[in-house]
Structure 1
Amino acid sequence: MFTRFLSALLLSAVVAPLAISAELEVDPQQDWYGKTPDNSLKSLAPKSGFVADSDAWEKLWTAWRPNEELPKLDFDRQIVLVGVVDGPNRVMMRPTLQADDIRFIAAGTRMAGPGFAYRLVVVDKGDAKKVNGKAISSGSTGEGSIEVTVVGTLESGLFAIGGETTGATITAQGITWELDLGNDAAFRKLAEEQSGKQVKVVGSLQCKAGVEIADRWIVTVQRITAID
């Protein structure tokens, strides 16, 4: 009898954690697998393991799947999980939701060879606030942000290959950061008027993965003030 009781107790201990983990539904039309012998492209994989904004999504898709049309996603309710393994292997992922945390592990087959393989899986965020313990923040790739105040020289009307620029920068003490002015017409007008001049910018600093530039440091502007 004691043996049956102990077995039941152990079984409940195993089953209990599984009961609070719900497997997330994945649309086969939003689940992409690929592989490439070019290891230099592997560095574009977000360190957080996910993409949570359209900017980073476009850069990653364009680099890894350049001959395919960019799928349109709704990042207000969706997130892209990014799994990477070495070599030309299949990538297996089974995302689950545990409380407010989306959890997944990228596992692969064991074929030797050059390059890496990846899998991009879109899931609904629902009430999730984290992915593998890392906070999901709107407009970022989950690496977090830093509130900054920068006094420096503003430049606007900039262009780059592949459109890899926000079109405006601020430079202070030899360091240049891009400025994300969003859709604020007043910010854009002020940036044009103050191009080449000293300004004070307040905003949040974030790092986004790029293609030509591996790490793009971007300040999402909250305030711009001209300095007379």
Structure 2
Amino acid sequence: MFTRFLSAMLLAAIVAPLAMSAELKVDPNQDWYGKTPDNALKKLAPESGFINDGEQFKKLWNAWRPDEALPNVDFDKQVVLIGIVDGPNRVMLRPSLKENDIQFIAAGTRMAGPGFAYRLVAVNKGDAQSVNGKPITASQSGEGSIEVTVIGKIESGLVAIGGETTGTTITASGITWELELGENAEFRKLAEELSGKQAKVVGSLERRSGVEVKVRYIVTVEKLTAAN
């Protein structure tokens, strides 16, 4: 009797939390999986774990899936959740809604290998106010961004402990900023040609947290030319 009672109590403890949240329906046409051996591309994912902006989604999509047309996501009604696991693994992501908070965790298989795998899932926001406790309306970088124009000396081919560098920097007035070139082959080639020389960069500046480098200032490049 006691054993049956204890089993019933344990089952209730497991089921109760699940009953408090409702699983969100995911349209299979807005559920995208991919993998890449280039760990540098992982840095393009927002720390928040979701995207609520069309321009940010476009940048991420073009970097991660450059050979595919940008899908139509209505960010007035939807939010894109991002799940990432290390290695060329499958990614499992099952979103749910609990007290106006969209909740999810990313899990994956355990195949060893280079790079990372990801899953992008678009879900309707409905009355949700947050994702995993982070406000949907808040700036996803945590610090916002600033449009800048910088004329300074470019250096490319850089490396850092833990891979905490984009590999390219620009220095002006004694201040050095990293340059995020993404998968733009033209920008990468030009940065190599201009390495050690003066260049002009236009882009958006943001601050990211790191491990070895506690604070990193990064310019996502929108235009790169030799300085006149």
Calculate the TM-score normalised by the size of structure 1: 0.61
Identify if the C-alpha distance between structure 1 residues 208 and 16 changes in structure 2 by more than 3 Å, giving closer, same or farther: same
Q: Is the 1:89–1:110 Cα contact (8 Å) retained in structure 2?
A: yes
Cα drift, residue 214 of structure 1: 5.0
What is the aligned partner in structure 1 of residue 45 from structure 2?
45
Cα drift, residue 122 of structure 1: 0.4
Cα drift, residue 7 of structure 1: 4.1
What is the aligned partner in structure 2 of residue 13 from structure 1?
13
What is the aligned partner in structure 1 of residue 71 from structure 2?
71
What is the identity percentage for the equivalent residue pairs of Structure 1 and Structure 2?
65
Give unpaired runs (5+ residues) of structure 1: 156-173, 177-205, 217-228
Q: Is the 1:44–1:214 Cα contact (8 Å) retained in structure 2?
A: no
Task: State the secondary structure of the residue aligned to 2:72.
Answer: coil
The CA distance in 2 between the partners of 1:99 and 1:58, in whole Å, is 30
What is the aligned partner in structure 1 of residue 160 from structure 2?
none
Pairwise CA RMSD of aligned residues? 3.5
What is the aligned partner in structure 1 of residue 195 from structure 2?
none
Which aligned pairs between 1:137-216 and structure 2 lie closer than 5 A? 137=137, 140-141=139-140, 143-144=141-142, 207=206
Task: State the secondary structure of the residue aligned to 1:18.
Answer: helix
CA deviations 1:203-222 (Å, max 9, x no partner) are xxx9599xxx9555xxxxxx
Cα drift, residue 131 of structure 1: 1.0
Q: Is the 2:143–2:207 Cα contact (8 Å) retained in structure 1?
A: no
What is the aligned partner in structure 2 of residue 201 from structure 1?
none
Identify if the C-alpha distance between structure 1 residues 113 and 3 changes in structure 2 by more than 3 Å, giving closer, same or farther: closer
Task: State the secondary structure of the residue aligned to 2:62.
Answer: helix
Cα drift, residue 145 of structure 1: 5.4
Identify if the C-alpha distance between structure 1 residues 136 and 145 changes in structure 2 by more than 3 Å, giving closer, same or farther: farther
Which aligned pairs between 1:20-35 and structure 2 lie closer than 5 A? 20-35=20-35
Give unpaired runs (5+ residues) of structure 2: 150-174, 178-204, 209-216, 221-228
Letter matched to residue 73 of structure 2: L
Matched, 1:115 2:111: no
Calculate the TM-score normalised by the size of structure 2: 0.61
The alignment covers a number of residue pairs equal to: 164
Once structures 1 and 2 are overlaid, which stretch shifts more, 80-89 or 11-20?
A: 11-20
Larger RCO (alpha carbons 8 Å, 6+ apart): 1
Matched, 1:92 2:92: yes
